[in-house]
Amino acid sequence: MSPHITLILSYILFIWFVVLHTFEEISCDIMALELGHIKMTRNRYLLGASVISTLNLGTLALLTLGLPAGYYLGLFTTAIFGIFQAVVHTVGYFREGKKARNIGSGDLGVEVR
């Protein structure tokens, strides 16, 4: 398998994990999150998730075409979204003082049944 195909398949796996993570956040009712001055609403959350999904699919299209912009955008999206998620989940965990329960990050301490 060529490195280009490996990269494309890896990015498809990344997109799949992002979509699964979005479903996990929806199931944990992240849309009702209030963290200091940040008040998440359903519309804001869904708009943000839509923008991220569209950006990821656009990046995948650029990668598939072999354009250099796809490589840079792919590096940007995986690094920034990965680092951003880690920081947000860490802050949420310490702010809420909850332990992870069952599946998911457990930031809100929501028990999945």
pTM over 0.75: no
pLDDT of residue 35: 66
pLDDT of residue 99: 53
pLDDT of residue 96: 65
pLDDT of residue 23: 84
pLDDT of residue 57: 94
pLDDT of residue 98: 59
pLDDT of residue 66: 92
Are the beta carbons of 112 and 103 closer than 8 angstroms?
yes
pLDDT of residue 112: 46
Low-confidence ranges of the chain (pLDDT < 50): 101-103, 106-113
